[in-house]
Amino acid sequence: GNSVTQMEGPVTLSEEAFLTINCTYTATGYPSLFWYVQYPGEGLQLLLKATKADDKGSNKGFEATYRKETTSFHLEKGSVQVSDSAVYFCALSDLGAAGNKLTFGGGTRVLVKP
Amino acid sequence: SAVISQKPSRDICQRGTSLTIQCQVDSQVTMMFWYRQQPGQSLTLIATANQGSEATYESGFVIDKFPISRPNLTFSTLTVSNMSPEDSSIYLCSVGTIAGSYNEQFFGPGTRLTVL
């Protein structure tokens, strides 16, 4: 079956530091990959997505590249702000094997200190 | 993307009671889903809400505990029945669209449930 593994948190950073959150996946088909963000007390927001190998998703200074050879979709941001403090979820969608379902990783809490 | 609202946004309930959560979308959507997020955990899919037919439940979730209605393409309800403290979670609905070859889901703001 499908699965997503992401690094455990919490990740604590200072403002303007570089952020990387690792995400690897296992899928029986050819999935699309997503990063969702959950700010404190809020629901999930789609941060970025990539639908095929070597695609780079980007939004709000965050980037992630779909690496089929390493089955990875690591999230990066060059200079984080306090407002980036949130929980980040990596997810995959595999229409072929799993219908319309999303499979989520465990989430990574990021805390950015001023 | 669709605008999704949920009611109530939060509630505190007594054990043994039931709570119905509403999910409203501002446009017609084919796919609607209900998730549970237990404290400090990731999201777990409860079921897919099917318009005009019974919901499709994931392993570990049953209709008697989590009855779901989907009367039309813009609205769904999830009931948490005979609640216990273990049901304390955030419940989220999402809507899915298929854009080309992939499924993209958008989430409501969630309902934070505390069971005493």
Task: Show which residues on chain B lie within 8 Å of chain A, measured between beta carbons.
Answer: 1, 31, 33, 41-43, 45, 48, 92, 94, 96, 98, 100-110
Chain B residues touching A43 at Cβ < 8 A? 92, 107-110
Question: Which structure tokens are listed for A78?
Answer: 């060059």
- The answer, yes or no, to whether the previous bond of A10 is cis (omega within 30 of 0) is yes
- Determine the pLDDT at residue A93: 86
Instruction: Using a CB–CB cutoff of 8 Å, tell me whether A26 touches chain B.
Output: no
Residue-wise pLDDT for A19-65, tens only, equals 999 999 998 878 889 999 999 888 899 999 998 899 999 999 999 99
Chain A residues touching B100 at Cβ < 8 A? 51
Task: Give the phi and the psi of residue A97 in degrees, each rounded to 5.
Answer: -90, -30
Residue A81's Cα: distance from chain center in Å? 17
The rounded distance, in Å, linking the Cα atoms of B21 and B81 is: 11
- Determine the pLDDT at residue B79: 98
The rounded distance, in Å, linking the Cα atoms of B11 and B44 is: 20
CA distance A23 to chain B (A): 14
Chain A residue with Cα closest to B96: A100
For residues A31 and A94, the answer to whether their CB atoms sit within 8 Å is yes
Q: Rounded to 5 degrees, what angle do the CA atoms A61, B40, A108 make? A: 30
Task: Give the phi and the psi of residue B53 in degrees, each rounded to 5.
Answer: -150, 175
Q: Which residues contact A81 (CB under 8 A, 6 or more apart)?
A: A15, A16, A112
Nearest by CB: B108 against A43, A89, A95: A43
Residue-wise pLDDT for B87-114, tens only, equals 999 999 999 876 555 567 889 999 999 9
